[in-house]
Amino acid sequence: MAAPSSELFRFVLGAVAGHRLRSSLSVLGVGIGVAAVVLLSSLGEGTRQYIVSQFSQFGTNLMAINPGKVKTMGIPGVFGGTTHQLTPEDAGSLRRLPGVDAMIPVAMGQGRVEFGGRGRSVYIYGVNHELPRVWGVGTAQGSFLPPLDSGRRASLTVLGPKLAREIFGTASPLGQRVRIGSESLVVIGVMEPKGQLLGFDLDDTAYIPVGTAMGLFNLSELQEIDLLASSSEGIPALVAQVRAALMARHRGEEDFTITTQTEMLDVFGRVIGIVTLAVTAIAGISLVVGAVGILTVMWISVHERTAEIGLLRALGVEGSTVQALFLLEAILLAAGGGVAGLAFGLLVQALLRLIVPGLPLATPPEAVVAALVMTLGVGAAAGVLPARKAASLDPIEALRAE
């Protein structure tokens, strides 16, 4: 009749508790590793979620068309080819495709917005009236740009809230004329606050009709056409349609690149996933160090408790049971470290959230599970050698130890 495992567990617990300092140090070693894994993977996952949310605030049905083909590095005409420009007319034709809900032709540049004695250098977006719908943002005062034929110029502008505040202070900018470069434009609206997108302050910009922007910045083509698909299921079909339509307009040449929002998110997700994995792996090294700590402690423990092992054997405890006892002890130490590290990691995250509210932190549950499973593995791996050593001791020799 073998001893019930609950009794073995109690015995091992007593052995662990009997060496409080040594046990807590090895628990600490594993704990630091687990805390590092949890923290770093949380940071990685948080960053990924942050970027995904940054992009998907514009919806996931977006696709962008940029001039140039990635394989030709986007440099038109290098090899004497007849590369065509991405024109407002191209944009207009794409808008008429079925399945396209909205379209923004984009031509942008940096410029100084001046009013009275004050001015501010900002990004100036040449867009059209569909921007509020596509970006999901409205105006706080006045209205957005009116529908205009693509390519038509109009001396109108809508300011981002931060820009408006910087130039006009508390006064209403509506109906005022601002100067951007050589143009004098009437402010017809101020946007709602939108925040930042990957470091671009969308509140510190001015929106003008795309035709005006092309003239102002002396652009011969659009930098981008944004399309909003009416459904995400229709996107693959729409990509094919867009490609066919544009190639037909460009004499059969595919001199443009279509990027869908999902593709972009995938790429970002993959990149951040790899970075997270790498960083977590580095943190995992500290788990290995923790395992070595447990191995050392267990090895010392077997030596120090040789007499105890001899006694147990004399009392009729089999070698395999002795082995199980020491293995269990190693696993217990590692598991203790796992739980402690997890608790510490979560505590640090809670503190970080208090101190740096904007820090992207999200603990992926699978990382927590993986870390805990790993500590069990670490304990078992670190315990095998010492446990086998304990089991293989000659009871007579062991009893002689004092």
Partner 1 sequence: MIGLQGVWRTYPMGEGVVHALRDVSLSIAAGEYVALIGPSGSGKSTLLHILGCLDRPTQGRYSFEGREVGSLPDGERSLLRRNRIGFVFQFFHLLPRLTAQGNVELPMLFGGIARDERRERATRALASVGLLPRAGHRPDQLSGGERQRAAIARAVVMNPAVLLADEPTGNLDRASAQEVMGVLEAMNRQGLTLVVVTHDPVLAGHAQRVVHLTDGALSGPPEVLTSTVEA
Binding site for partner 1 (CB under 8 A): 1-4, 7, 11, 14-15, 17-18, 307-308, 310-319, 321, 395-396, 399, 402
1 CB contacts (<8 Å, ≥6 apart)? Answer: none
234 CB contacts (<8 Å, ≥6 apart)? Answer: 99
C-alpha 11/C-alpha 30 separation (Å) is 22
In the complex, minimum distance from the CB of residue 298 to partner 1, in angstroms, rounded to a whole number: 17
From the list 134, 137, 193, 138, the residue with the least C-alpha distance to 161 is 193
Classify the C-alpha dihedral 194-198-201-206 as positive or negative: negative
Nearer to partner 1, 221 or 308 (CB): 308
Nearer to partner 1, 23 or 212 (CB): 23
Nearer to partner 1, 316 or 357 (CB): 316
In the complex, minimum distance from the CB of residue 357 to partner 1, in angstroms, rounded to a whole number: 48
Q: Which two tokens stand for residue 345?
A: 């990691």
In the complex, minimum distance from the CB of residue 5 to partner 1, in angstroms, rounded to a whole number: 11
Nearer to partner 1, 1 or 21 (CB): 1
In the complex, minimum distance from the CB of residue 392 to partner 1, in angstroms, rounded to a whole number: 12
C-alpha 311/C-alpha 58 separation (Å) is 72
Residue where the block lists tokens 């395999």? 320
Residue where the block lists tokens 């990957």? 198
In the complex, minimum distance from the CB of residue 50 to partner 1, in angstroms, rounded to a whole number: 51
In the complex, minimum distance from the CB of residue 382 to partner 1, in angstroms, rounded to a whole number: 22
Nearer to partner 1, 6 or 220 (CB): 6
Nearer to partner 1, 3 or 373 (CB): 3
C-alpha 106/C-alpha 127 separation (Å) is 5
Element holding 212 (H helix, E strand): helix 210-216
